[in-house]
Amino acid sequence: MSLQSEFADIASGDGRAALVTVIAGPSIGAKLLVRADGSTDGGLGTPELDAAGVDAAEELLWAERSETREVDATTLFVDVVAPAPRLVIFGAVDYAAALARLARAAGWRPFVCDPRSQFATAARFPDAEEVIAAWPEEAFARVGGIDRATYIAVLTHDPKLDDAALTIALRSDAAYVGAMGSRRAQAQRRERLLAAGIEEELLERIAAPIGLDLGALTPEETALSIMAEVVAVRNGREGGRLSRSAGRIHEVGA
């Protein structure tokens, strides 16, 4: 199978990979396939170009965008395919239903998790990719683990579930970890997690209170606030008003 064919198969199977092609330079047309597990096939002509291609691919695989890169007198095109990002929602509550609905509409894959099987049902969350009635350790395993394209929202106010989910999430490669609750509840949670051995610097990863400051009141407005923050984080933005921004409205890749 050619590298191009394998790359197409990975894309059609909703997988993650990068195909690096020399589009200008001495070895024009040379290709290097970089898979999500770090394995490679092919080559770009020299060990130096191969190393540069792998570095660029590993960066862009998780930024989930394609770009050209200049390496001395050679131009590389890094073509990336990736599945839709995952939003793992803990807490089978009304906010979770609204968030799953909005995430699905935005092209994300929402998963709803809660060990309380009477609440964690597919009928209550028809927009979820999967509804998982399990504690966080098992739930994370069932969604395929946590990678750099996993975003986690903890929406329950139950310390047992909150703390169990956050303990795992904070020590993972998750791109985003957010938690619902008042500032007082956040302070109490922080003390519990510190007492449980979570390092101070890891606690800084929590986006809490979760979401952007939209003045949200209803579950739908709250879901919009959370989804807006998640999308901003994914795109490396702060989530401020465009009318007050001096930079590009849209980032331009290749």
pLDDT of residue 132: 97
pLDDT of residue 245: 64
Domains in the chain (CATH in brackets) are 3-81 (no CATH), 86-234 (3.40.50.720)
The band of 238, judged by pLDDT with boundaries at 50, 70 and 90, is confident
* Torsion, CA 116, CA 122, CA 127, CA 132, rounded to 10: 50
Residues 36/49, Cβ–Cβ less than 8 Å: no
Alpha-carbon distance values, 157 to 96, 114, 161, 186, 206 (Å):
13, 12, 8, 10, 15
pLDDT, tens digit (0-9, with 9 covering 90-100), for 164-223 = 999 999 999 999 999 998 888 889 999 999 998 999 999 999 998 999 999 999 999 999
Q: What is the average pLDDT across 239-248?
A: 69
pLDDT of residue 243: 66
pLDDT, tens digit (0-9, with 9 covering 90-100), for 74-123 = 999 999 999 989 999 999 999 999 999 999 999 999 999 999 999 999 99
The band of 250, judged by pLDDT with boundaries at 50, 70 and 90, is low
